[in-house]
Amino acid sequence: MAHFYAYCEVHGKCGENRETAEKAAEDCNNHVATVSGPHGLVFPRLSNREIVNGIRRYSYKNLKELAIGNEK
């Protein structure tokens, strides 16, 4: 099942699993506004889990076109 979440290069996953990239982008803005310290880039990440031949496979796609902040 695919979902989106906010990801900070410094703090890791932040916020809840969301159904859309736009909602995850709101979590990115909230993270930058409320958490002190350096962040690097904060961007939505698409996470997908599927079962192939009985084995769970995870894939991730960083949506850096919606990123806020600076590179580390």
Interval 6-29 mean pLDDT = 94
Strand partners, 52: 55
Confidence of residue 44 (pLDDT cuts 50, 70, 90): very high
pLDDT over 90 (residue 40): no
**pLDDT score for 70:** 66
Strand partners, 26: none
Confidence of residue 71 (pLDDT cuts 50, 70, 90): low
For residue 63, which of 2, 1, 33 has the smallest C-alpha distance? 2
Confidence of residue 28 (pLDDT cuts 50, 70, 90): very high
Contact 20, 4 (CB under 8 A): yes
pTM of the model: 0.83
